[in-house]
Structure 1
Amino acid sequence: MPEGVFVVRLDDMRGFLVEEKHPSTLRLSEKLLNVIFYEHETGKKEQIKFFESEGKRIGSFTQISHPAWFVCFILSPDEEPEIIRDQLVGMGRLITELAIETPDKLDLGPILREGSTLPQRSDEQLFTDIFTTPSTALLLERLEDEKEGGLEKAASLSIWLKNQVKSEDMDLREIVKPLMKSGAVKVKMVGKASEMVFLIKDVFAYRAPPVQALLNVENQQMGFAKEYRQQVKEFFSPEGEGGYNPSLPVEDPNSPILEDRQMIAEIMDNIFHYRIIEALREKPFNVDELVNETALPSTIVRDSLVILRNNHIAIDIGEESTWALLSDPRIDCFMPEFVLPAVANKVRNKKVKREAAEEYLELLIQCWEGENS
């Protein structure tokens, strides 16, 4: 393991600020901090750079989502950078998120000793930006419309979006980025002058019953199995009217289901909440077990569980303070075959060229071939 670690933030007004370091006696010069910045100056993605300065062997990590933050490890003489690269990247992710989200609870010592890491954002998490950006969610709904969706000229979409939000200050390229990054949409030139936007994935955010966790509780004959199943049933299918049903058709933009969709995405966008949800999808855990399962500090785990409970995602059940999913927040994607009749109508009515429709079918085949076989 590295001999030390320190966190540096680049401030526009004050230059480099050392936010945290371990051990506390670590001495860092301005020259070393400048070298760190120089090493990463041309970086455009998550990366770790290895170099030597002032007799120290340094592994310096940064990522494009937080370009002003640097997590720097001081390597021991016998450590091979390429052997420990992946672990340092995972530790760098964890430390960066903790430094930004909960700086008062950042304790570098235990992370360094235990080698705690954080994985990359999952494919499911890439969809969260769609629903946490209202204009992007609106654009997705337009492309998912059974009468008008599927594909559309970028210029026409831009005009439609400006009319919807009553603003001329809209940059379609920025709004469509979360859709492109997640693979839900592709933007391509068709012919010499038509830039087209194609819906590749129908994206759906909702709460599902925690099926796998329920099965494991019953298979392992846990004492709270009956109570757990009852609480899940009351949430999704209570006696009389009510309950959570994401399959109901929604027209009202202020519908509680649409509001809930945004909240689900915001929670899943938080890497700490998401790690705990991932663990609880499999089976219930107590706090200590969750700390071991997620490699997150116990304070982070406890704080996340409170937020998940307040949003009807997790419950504290049983006599030993075991935590289980009440509802399983998910973002799934499907082939948008329901828009194909709309595409055919657009071709017939000469709203789009046949060439664009053929390109759309080819893109769908490339994405989904073999997925549903």
Structure 2
Amino acid sequence: MKTISFKAILMTASILGSLITIPAKADISPPPAGYDHYNPSIPHGSYQIVQYYSTVAGAHKNTRVLLPPDYSSNKTYNVLYLLHGIGGNINEWSDNGAPLNIMDNLYAADQAEPMIVVMPNGRAMDDDIPIGDIFDPQVVESFTTFEYELLNDLIPFIESRYSVNRGRTSRAISGLSMGGGQSLNFGLGNPDTFAWVGAFSAAPNTKAADALIPDISDTDRLPMLWLSCGTADGLVSIAREIHDYMNANGVQHDYLLHEGAGHDWSVWKPGLYHFAQRIFVSDDGNNQNDGVIFYQDINYGGSTGQSLMPGRYTQQQLAAKGVPDDWASSVKIPAGWTVTMYQNNYFSGSSWTLTTDTPHFWALTPYANDQMSSVVIQSNQ
């Protein structure tokens, strides 16, 4: 990851008040009016509450899942794990943070890749609603032990139940307060599992900055680290400490302070709005890793189709992406990706599979060429 110099920019926003932002990838503008409101004229996602078994809690637990509009098992989706605060549960975000409205509006504006958002109970306990003293040491410790549950129970469950892409670049994690600390601890601590990490008003459960990333070279695999907090929040020193450490070590990240804001939704809802736009994309704002690109010419030249992310593409969907029938003659495949081309539409008939451990160009003549009618793309990164 490139070392960059950060420059503070002071902006005025009618919605959020003043923002102090130190951008890495692009200027961070305030959300537009109505970004978190329901819009009846656009497609809408839907909530599900499903159960998985927690080996840590020794019980079945509920998790809330937000599916994008027109979710289909014929497509594959990336996944954002969105975590609540110390007094929250699987309903904290949906009851207060308007994630359905925020995501629907981003999709309608073509500002975010359709994704699945998972909102679990971030305590490794069998209760869905926190009871008693939420600061009890056992309760606080359960937020730490949730890491094992997340990695070994919840993620495998989600990836077996839903049509999702697998691999680190297909998973993001973020959260508010205690969930923000979890996101930093779990996300940065498991670079083979998560590539996109965000924290909104991270709580004191956050590890010290130098302990979050013992090997600073691991950040070369981190396309997005997001930190935000209110300047009137008593926890703002945590965000500042991490920002200073990352800045001193040349780690590219986005850092946003909301002037005058406290420990509340005026920080957390914009956090989701900004973070969701910046995940599962490449540095130039296109789809991550540039995806699979088909070329009209056999020597990897001429016209190209759109960058294709992991998923299943029928003949009609390929045409809509600029890859019409009997058109492609060569293809570029990112490292660790697999492309299976089918002779018939809807993934049937003879097939040809190309896979590579390094970015690679292939001429299609020996394989599919004009017989390619549908494609399945998978990423193991």
Larger radius of gyration: 1
- Structure richer in helix, relative to its length: 1
The structure where strand makes up a greater share of residues is: 2
TM-score by length of 1: 0.22
Scaled by the length of structure 2, what TM-score is found? 0.21
